[in-house]
Amino acid sequence: MSPALPLKDSSRERQVFSARVLLVLVLAVALMGTLVLRMVQLQVWEYEAYQTRSDENRIQVQPLAPPRGLIYDRNGELLADNRAVSSLNVVQERVQDMPALLEHIATLVSVTPEDLASFESRLKRTRRPFEPVALKLNLSEEEVARLAVHRHELAGIEITTQLVRHYPFDGLFAHSVGSVRRITEEDLQRLDPVQYSATRFVGKRGVERFYETSLHGEVGYQQVEIDAHGRVRQVLNIRPPVAGENITLQLDSRLQIAATAALGERRGAVVAMDPRSGGVLAMVSNPSYDPNLFVMGMSDAQYRELSTSRKTPLFNRAVNGQYAPGSTFKPVVGLAALASGVTNWTEAIEDRGWFKLPGQDRIYRDWSWTVGNSGGQGHVDLHRAIYRSANVFFYDLATRMDIDDLARFARQFGLGSNVAVDIADASDGLVPDRIWKRGAKGEIWYPGDSVNMGIGQGNLLVTPLQLATMASAIANRGHPVRPRMLLSSDQPLVESDPPLPLPAIAGPTPDDWERMVDAMEDVVHRGNQGYGGNGTAWYYIGRDIAYRMAGKSGTAQVVEIRQGEEYDAEELDEYNRKHAWFIAFAPADDPVIAVSVLVENGGGGSAVAAPVAREVLDAYLQPQLAAR
């Protein structure tokens, strides 16, 4: 040791050291005491708060989506069921390198730019940590297998399986059964947040929408113990969901297939009803779409095609398409005239093919009119006016009737309002009258309006569903029925609060109804009488028919043909051509089916729409006739 260093005072050193050590000891005891105090605070004073927090941490209540009720047709055929689909989810917190993971996933399953975009937006929404975010919603079995093989390289992915709606007939029932769609923000405003807490789809159209509450079922819960990663460790308690009600519809899938086939590629609609019950046996709107696309997802291009196509496949023509009924309205005008005493079965006029209102120059034409005011149907009474579809007779009748009486009478057939039991989104159509015209157009009712209404033109609007309802009312000889989709269900449904039955149509005598049905039978069956003597549809459907059918054709103008010009289908744009209508019911003396057929821009009702109606009735009646 260096002697230069000052001497050490050993005992003083030891004294100071001992004092310091004691101080440290006191300090250590004090600090340990602080820690103990802190533990007492946490474990004794605030114990309950932390106890609760710990339970909340680990115990979570998870909603369980109920399986949606199944939908059957009247033969027990499944129209809507559920099937399991797998989706690929990503837990962001467990992913080290998101771009690399997404790239890797893209080599295994097809991930579209749309998938990625919606994934990004879902990621940005607030979520709890470790909540899986959907990346791709509908994995094929092959993709699931491929992901499973590469599972170990893909930290942070999860594959979940859940039940979603499936429509085995694809587009066949898209407009009658309807479809479910993904729940939107807007839907969340009206849906019960508790019941729908685990549900991803909601009925948006047709039956799926009307019976939503019953089909949806009741949400279930499970109390689970979870870890910090949101993974379920064990289920503590479970209240299973109550599956939605299974329902059976009036629809007959065989008839639906026949009706769809009968329409073929043409735009249009077919509604077939059992006139005794109002049960809708077939409801076709063509073109249709595959409702499964809305469940499984589709590309933007597919959606754009569906929503902007001029053929409007998403539009349900059967209940929302509103068209002038044309000549199919003539039986109603005739019955109204009989009821109000304006005409009888013997009164006749001389039909020269055109009609003029007193003091006006405008000429209203019959369909048999030709340039130069030749043509016409000769001696015409009500019976002949129906089977020949003579316009001039009805021009004359309509101008002689009070228009408000005619409108009131027509509404008894279910026109001008939605009388259906369970088709909530059906359109009302329009039966114009004086009050309507003043309100909507600010004009008084002109005699010319009556002339147009006499042949089902002008402002009169009906849907194919309404014409089927009207045909049913005639088939029932004045007893209208409300159209209905539901045939039966295992349990009474909450939606089953049927409105009162429609009252019998007042005015026409039973004899009037029989004679009107006779006249409509002649539309189909009166043949071999020479051109001017045959029913309008006989040539097209009546020559080889095995049962008695009553029918009425109609041809609705889309654009107005100028005075003095002839209608020329060739010259008109396809979408400006006339709509073809046909209504029918059979067997005429004891009808079991009534049908309305619309072919948009199809041309003449008898030539175009009547064969479709015939095919539908054949499909329904022939098995029954064969059985007899």
Partner 1 sequence: MSSRDFVRSLPGGGLGTRQRLLQIHLDPLLLLVLLCVIGYGLVVLYSALDRNLTLFTNQVMRMLLALGTMLVAAQLHPRFYMRWSPLVYTGGFLMLVLVLLIGTEVKGSQRWLDLPGLPRFQPSEVMKIAVPMMVAWYFHERPLPPSLKDTLVALAIIFAPAACIVLQPDLGTGILVAGAGLAVVLLAGISWKWLGYALLAAAVAAPGMWLYGLKDYQRQRILTLFDPESDPLGAGWNIIQSTTAIGSGGVFGKGLFQGTQSHLDFLPESHTDFIIAVIGEELGLVGIVSLLTLYLLLIARGLYIAMNASHSYERLLAGALTITFFVYAFVNVAMVSGLLPVVGVPLPLVSYGGTSAITLLTSFGMIMAVRTHKGW
8-state DSSP, 413: T
| Separation of alpha carbons 202 and 209, rounded Å | 8
| From candidates 83, 97, 123, 129, binder to partner 1 by CB under 8 A | 129
Please report, as a single letter, which amino acid is at residue 334. G
Distance in Å, CB of 33 to partner 1, minimum? 9
Q: Give 33 or 623: the residue with its C-beta nearer to partner 1.
A: 33
Asked if residue 131 lies in contact with residue 91, where contact means CB atoms within 8 angstroms, the answer is: yes
Distance in Å, CB of 96 to partner 1, minimum? 13
* 172 φ, ψ (degrees, to nearest 5): -60, -40
User: Which residue out of 327, 368, 427, 489 is catalytically annotated?
Assistant: 327
Cis bond upstream, residue 241 (ω within 30): no
Whether 214 is catalytic: no
Residues 166-225 interacting with partner 1 (rule: CB under 8 A): 225
Q: Does 4 bind partner 1 (CB under 8 A)?
A: no
Asked if residue 312 lies in contact with residue 373, where contact means CB atoms within 8 angstroms, the answer is: no
Distance between alpha carbon 363 and the CA centroid of its chain, in Å?
42
Q: Give 125 or 562: the residue with its C-beta nearer to partner 1.
A: 125
Distance in Å, CB of 116 to partner 1, minimum? 25
Distance in Å, CB of 271 to partner 1, minimum? 57
* 580 φ, ψ (degrees, to nearest 5): -100, 130
| Separation of alpha carbons 141 and 136, rounded Å | 13
Q: Does 17 bind partner 1 (CB under 8 A)?
A: yes
Distance in Å, CB of 54 to partner 1, minimum? 4
Q: Does 226 bind partner 1 (CB under 8 A)?
A: yes
8-state DSSP, 504: P
Q: Does 28 bind partner 1 (CB under 8 A)?
A: yes
Stretch that binds partner 1, among 55-63, 265-273, 332-340, 565-573 (CB under 8 A): 55-63
Q: Where are the alpha helices (DSSP H) in 477-509?
A: none
| Secondary structure (DSSP) of 74-117 | TTS-EEEEEEEEEEEEE-GGG-S-HHHHHHHHHHHS---HHHHH
Rounded to a whole number of angstroms, the distance between the first and last alpha carbons of the chain is: 132
| From candidates 151, 229, 239, 356, binder to partner 1 by CB under 8 A | 229
Stretch that binds partner 1, among 22-30, 299-307, 570-578, 593-601 (CB under 8 A): 22-30
8-state DSSP, 327: G
| From candidates 83, 150, 151, 233, binder to partner 1 by CB under 8 A | 233
Q: Does 7 bind partner 1 (CB under 8 A)?
A: yes
| Separation of alpha carbons 622 and 628, rounded Å | 10
Q: Does 240 bind partner 1 (CB under 8 A)?
A: no
3-state helix, strand, coil in the chain (%, to 5): 40, 20, 40
Asked if residue 276 lies in contact with residue 481, where contact means CB atoms within 8 angstroms, the answer is: yes
Quote the tokens at residue 275. 């006139």
Half-sphere exposure of residue 364, counting CA atoms within 13 Å on the CB side? 26
Please report, as a single letter, which amino acid is at residue 228. A
| Separation of alpha carbons 217 and 242, rounded Å | 5
Counts for the chain of helices (H) and strands (E), in that order: 21, 20
| Separation of alpha carbons 444 and 433, rounded Å | 10
Q: Kindly report the number of other CB atoms within 10 A of residue 410's CB atom.
A: 25
Distance in Å, CB of 122 to partner 1, minimum? 18
Q: Give 14 or 304: the residue with its C-beta nearer to partner 1.
A: 14
Q: Give 47 or 547: the residue with its C-beta nearer to partner 1.
A: 47
User: Pairing state of beta strands 71-72 and 247-249?
Assistant: parallel
Q: Give 38 or 362: the residue with its C-beta nearer to partner 1.
A: 38
Q: Does 18 bind partner 1 (CB under 8 A)?
A: yes
| From candidates 227, 404, 443, 574, binder to partner 1 by CB under 8 A | 227
| Separation of alpha carbons 328 and 158, rounded Å | 60
Q: Does 43 bind partner 1 (CB under 8 A)?
A: yes
| From candidates 11, 40, 243, 254, binder to partner 1 by CB under 8 A | 40
Q: Does 44 bind partner 1 (CB under 8 A)?
A: yes
Please report, as a single letter, which amino acid is at residue 472. S
Distance in Å, CB of 97 to partner 1, minimum? 15
Q: Does 36 bind partner 1 (CB under 8 A)?
A: yes
Q: Does 237 bind partner 1 (CB under 8 A)?
A: no
Q: Does 31 bind partner 1 (CB under 8 A)?
A: yes
Distance in Å, CB of 90 to partner 1, minimum? 17
Q: Give 227 or 490: the residue with its C-beta nearer to partner 1.
A: 227
How far apart, in Å, are the Cα atoms of 70 and each of 242, 290, 524, 536, 561?
13, 18, 40, 44, 50
Residues 57-86 interacting with partner 1 (rule: CB under 8 A): 57-58
Q: Does 228 bind partner 1 (CB under 8 A)?
A: yes
Q: Where are the alpha helices (DSSP H) in 125-251?
A: 141-149, 185-190, 206-210, 212-216
Q: Does 25 bind partner 1 (CB under 8 A)?
A: yes
Distance in Å, CB of 178 to partner 1, minimum? 42
Q: Does 500 bind partner 1 (CB under 8 A)?
A: no
Stretch that binds partner 1, among 10-18, 101-109, 302-310, 588-596 (CB under 8 A): 10-18
Q: Does 444 bind partner 1 (CB under 8 A)?
A: no
Distance in Å, CB of 200 to partner 1, minimum? 26
| From candidates 3, 11, 54, 70, binder to partner 1 by CB under 8 A | 54
Q: Does 38 bind partner 1 (CB under 8 A)?
A: yes
Q: Where are the alpha helices (DSSP H) in 567-609?
A: none
Residue 197's H or E segment, with its range, is none
Compose the 81-120 pattern: x for residues touching partner 1 by CB under 8 A, - for all others.
----------------------------------------
Distance in Å, CB of 30 to partner 1, minimum? 11
Asked if residue 407 lies in contact with residue 431, where contact means CB atoms within 8 angstroms, the answer is: yes
| Contacting positions for partner 1 (CB under 8 A) | 1-2, 5-10, 12-14, 16-18, 20-21, 24-25, 28-29, 31-32, 34-36, 38-40, 42-44, 46-47, 49-51, 53-55, 57-58, 129, 225-229, 233
Catalytic residues: 327
